[in-house]
Chains A and B, each alone.
Chain A
Amino acid sequence: MTSAPDELRFDELWTDFLEGELPPEGIAELERLFEDRPSLQVRGADLLQTHRLLGFLLQDDKQSGDAFVGSVMKAIPQSDAAFTESVLQSLPGHSLQSPVPLASADANPTMPGLRGYAIATMLLVSLGCFLTMAWLHSGSRTGLMVEVVQVANGASAEWVPGEQILLDELALVRGNVQLRLPSDVVLDLHAPVELRFINAMNVHVRSGKITADVGERGKGFVIETTQARVVDLGTRFGVDASNAAHTDVVVFKGQVELFEPGIKERVALLNQGEGVRIEKHRRTSRIVSITSSGVPGSWSVQETGDQRAVITAVRDSMSASDEEAKKWPSLRNFYRIAPGGLHDGALAFADESDHWTSVPTSLRGADLVQTFAADGFNWWMQLTLSIQQPCELFVMVDRRNDVPSWLKEDFADTGETIVLNCVPRNQRGPINRQLEYGVWKRIIAHPGEVKLGAPYGEPPSDRKSFQPNRMYGVAARPLP
Chain B
Amino acid sequence: MSNSESRTDDPIPAETYHRAQAGERDAIEMLVQHHQRQVRAWVAAHCPVGCDADDIAQRTFLAAITRLGDFQVGTCFLAWLLTIARYQLMTESTRLRRLADYHSRHAPGLLAREMERRMHQPDDGLSDRLVYLQDCLSSLGESPRQFLHWRYDEELPLEEIASRAGRTIPAIKKQLWLLRQKLQQCIEAKVSAAQGGTA
Contacts and interface: CB of A to CB of B under 8 A. Distances in A.
Contacts of A280: 154-155
Nearest to B170: A15
B98 A134 contact: yes
B74 interface: no
Interface stretch (A106-114, A377-385, A404-412, A419-427): A106-114
Contact of A34 (B61, B99, B108): B108
A46 B87 contact: no
Given A50-B184, A108-B83, A35 B133 contact: no
Interface of A is mostly: helix
B53 A121 contact: no
Interface string B56-67: 011101110111
Interface string B108-137: 111101110010000000100110011001
B66 A86 contact: yes
A89 B41 CA distance: 31
B104 A27 contact: yes
Nearest to B186: A50
A59 B90 CA distance: 25
A76 interface: yes
Contacts of A28: 104
B41 A56 contact: yes
Contacts of B137: 54, 57-58
B36 interface: yes
Contacts of B90: 122
Given A111-B70, A117-B66, A134-B98, A69 B29 contact: yes
Contacts of A71: 54, 58
Contact of B110 (A41, A53, A58, A121): A41
A24 B62 contact: no
Q: Say what secondary structure dominates the interface of chain B.
A: helix
Contact of B54 (A47, A68, A113): A68
A131 interface: yes
A15 B177 CA distance: 6
Contact of B69 (A41, A88, A204): A88
Contacts of A24: 104-105
Nearest to B83: A111
B106 A27 contact: yes
B199 interface: no
A131 B98 CA distance: 8
B127 to A, nearest CB: 11
A108 B85 CA distance: 13
Give the interface centre of B22, B88, B155 by most chain A CB atoms within 10 Å: B155
A331 B168 CA distance: 32
B167 interface: no
Contact of A124 (B62, B84, B95, B158): B95
Contacts of A72: 32, 36, 58, 61-62, 65
Given A69-B33, A71-B58, A80-B25, A49 B45 contact: yes
A55 interface: yes
Contact of B176 (A15, A92, A196): A15
A133 to B, nearest CB: 12
Interface residues of B, number: 81
Contacts of B187: 50
Contact of A90 (B55, B69, B111, B155): B69
Contacts of A16: 173
Interface string A42-71: 101111111111111111100001001101
Contacts of B59: 121
B155 A245 contact: yes
B98 A126 contact: yes
A73 B111 contact: no
B189 interface: no
A140 B109 CA distance: 32
A87 interface: yes
A112 B67 CA distance: 11
A320 to B, nearest CB: 19
A114 to B, nearest CB: 6
B69 A76 contact: no
B78 interface: no
A86 B84 CA distance: 18
B109 A44 contact: no
A87 B110 contact: no
A206 B59 CA distance: 13
A118 interface: yes
A158 to B, nearest CB: 17
A409 B154 CA distance: 48
Contacts of B173: 15-16, 19
A42 B83 CA distance: 23
A36 to B, nearest CB: 11
B198 interface: no
A466 interface: no
B14 interface: no
Contact of A59 (B84, B110, B153, B183): B153
A474 to B, nearest CB: 32
B94 A122 contact: yes
B190 interface: no
A122 B36 CA distance: 23
Interface string B32-55: 110011001100111101001111
A279 interface: yes
Contact of B23 (A17, A83, A226): A83
B163 interface: no
Looking at A35, A54, A92, A117, which has the most chain B CB atoms within 10 Å of its CB?
A54
21 contacts: A41-B110, A41-B113, A59-B153, A65-B36, A72-B65, A73-B25, A73-B29, A76-B28, A83-B25, A90-B69, A91-B21, A92-B69, A108-B83, A108-B87, A111-B70, A117-B67, A124-B94, A140-B62, A140-B63, A140-B66, A226-B52
Q: What are the nearest 4 A-B pairs in CB distance?
A: A113-B70, A84-B23, A91-B69, A90-B69
Given A49-B126, A52-B53, A54-B133, 19 more contacts: A19-B173, A27-B105, A45-B114, A45-B118, A48-B115, A51-B180, A53-B41, A57-B130, A72-B32, A72-B65, A76-B62, A87-B22, A87-B69, A90-B67, A92-B69, A94-B69, A121-B88, A131-B100, A226-B54
